[in-house]
Structure 1
Amino acid sequence: MTTTADSRRRPRGRLRRRLLVGFVALSLSTAALAGVALWFADTYIEDAAVRDLMEREMANRTVPRTTQDHLTGERGALRFFTAADAPVELRGHAPGYEEDFELGERTYNLLVRDTADGPVYLLYDISFVEERENILAWMAALALSAVTITSIFAARWLARRALAPLDLLVDQLAQLDPERRGERIALPADDSELAVIVDAINAYMEQLDVLVERERSFAASASHELRTPIAVIQGAAETLALQGENAPLKRIARAVAIARHELDALLALSRVRERPALASVRLDTWLQELAATYAEAIPNARIVWDIDAAEAVVTAPGAIAAIFTNLLRNALRASAGAPVHVYVRPTEIVVTDRGPGIAAADLPHIFEPGFRRLDGGSGMGLYIARTLAARFGWQLSLRNDEPHGVVAALRFGEVDH
């Protein structure tokens, strides 16, 4: 399972790898280009020097002398032949210069000139040059390997240094508490490169603080305005109950109690780290009382109960009421007179209907604010229900049932005091 920390590390890891690969590739490319350039320069200079040496030696060899001992024989890497003593392999070569001429097991450069006595041949043994080039090739390979290893370590060090301010910024962002206002991020003074980003983030956070504070002020005002009429209705219902209780008065009392609990739950969401009041409730009786109020308002509503939760649990009744009644209303509207099944367990409530279900394209969006199904609603009910469930760490899920219908499940536990 991917964690939040893993998702934060992955982008930085990819950036670090890109920097590492880029630096190593640049180092190797530079080293390779420099090596190739040096190789061609060395080869060019060497070939030019050998040819110049052979031209001068040929000139010396072909100057008329009183003695002829210089016309044949060897001198170091040079071998000179006249037409009379030239090996068969040399005869027939046109005047000119030829590189990499094979004679026996050696490699030579060949220079041929025409003279009055016939062609003469000058060979320069370059076998030792090829041996040296092989040695240089191995040395170049070793040097390239050394450059690779060195550049990898250097790139890792440079990447750490270059990304250190970014790592610090990401760590500070990860430690921010979304429920605390006034928090800002800061970087050392010498990390001015990221100052523009930090300033933009802090400015955005300041705007969020202003927005959240405005919403909280509105919630506080709404709380006062809504509590007053609820209290008036509750007081009037209690006064009428003194003259004798009846079914309508009981429904009014239940509706007022539900409204008060749901108002507490919703307003608690707008306050920092505040949860609705906790209470010990028996789900088996309390949920049926909640359902009765809504079932009476929907014609032909039928609810089938399957209850195995006789013990009281400590929970947030306002949150439970808001979530359960929302799921129940949706199920009753979708069923169109068909029975709605409610399964109650000590840590789970499941509401199942036999309606048309939810379109596959709509399933990913059902908890988004403002999303409305064809059966009506404000589009905020499931969003509020999911938000309340998340506040307590509960799990709220909806899925299509077979052959049709929807299964809505709320899984919860007792809330810690």
Structure 2
Amino acid sequence: MLNGLFNRASSAVSLPQKLLLYFSAIAVMIGLTIYIFMLSLMQWIEDEVNQHELKASAPFAISLFQQGARQPLQIGLHVQAFYSHDFIPEAYGDLSQFPSGFSGEVVDRGKAGLLHEVLSFKLFEDDNLNPQKELFLYRSEFKLDGEMQPLYLVMPADNVELSDEEWQSINVFVLTFICVLFLLFGFAIHKLSQRLVEPVDQLVKQLKSPAEHPKFAVPKQSAAEFSQLSQSLNDYRQQNEMMIKQEQAFARYASHELRTPITVISGAAKLQEQNDAPEFQARQRDRIQRAAHEMQHTVDALLSIVKQEKGTVSHEARALELAEIEKIVQPLSLLAQSKKIELIVDFKHAPVIKPTPAVLRMLLSNIISNAINASDSGQIMVVIDSDHISINDNGHGLNASNKEQHNAQHNSHGLGLLIVDSLCQRYQWQFNLIETQPQGCQAKLTFPLLELKS
């Protein structure tokens, strides 16, 4: 029944009641076991003490009988000694049926021992219904005038055992003590189970109504594991919110990057309808081709990132070439020239990287664009080495660059630091912004050293 009760699915709130019922059933069984054990132990100790007294009196009784003492021989207050059946009182019954060496309590005539005494034990007993009294008997033999004689040492149980009233008091005390322990342990188990379940119940309520509980919390007295669980849930919620913000920022960026070339293509197509001059038509076709090429790169980069997130693609390491960097920098040169900024590429060593050309183009294009936007003149140096790529400008410094990128992120005019960091984390790259002296800023992409597969 208990197994069926606990295997049934239920809420954590009802668990204390189930635990209380479960442990109450166990406590009742343990209490009854302890009660029977204590009762048997007390009776056994009582019998052993009296039997030991009879055995200890036997040598003294034999000595007195051999010196001519008469029957019945009274030893102390309770022990009587006999060696002839004629002097044994009828109330004691026929004691000759017990063998020599017998030592024990005779409960009923012909029945003896602790087991029979326990099984026949009664809290309330009417002595008038039992004319034959219980007694302790020690049966032995000794020589008297050259002949073997039986020896009976008898001790009436009523004289040495606890009375019925005393047994009743002991039973009431033991039962009361067990009941008090049962109540105390039941109260302690109920409180303990409530303390264990309360954090779980609170966390469930906080999960069901996140608007009312923006932060997971458990009572201070809860176990350390529950505090760790609430902290883990808070960290998970924070990471989840951060990922949502990243995805929203990424969606804004993707929307802008795709909308811009579409606008260029649509505008160039309309302009073609207004002027049939060959040179004008050629310029518009060139704008359409460049916009389509730009959009193709963006789509490839987005698809590459999505595939990597789903684990459907694993890019192998490749060597970065100068031609790829020049191809990335070329479209940005026109923007730099419009602000009288010189864009220089310093290709020191060819690094081995994993990002696809489309992803690398997204990273460098946005970082270089931010550097151009943060500069009014001077030069921007793109340095490629075996373990890093750095973009150094002479602009307004780190604060201006941060402000420019922050505005870009929220106005959907660039990738932004959030997305740059996200892209770098996908390939185990590090992105850092360092302010340079006397003015300017350095954006640095650091990556692990890799080897090309042969």
TM surpasses 0.5: no
Higher radius of gyration, 1 or 2 = 2
TM-score w.r.t. length of structure 1 = 0.38
Which structure has greater helix proportion? 2
TM-score w.r.t. length of structure 2 = 0.36
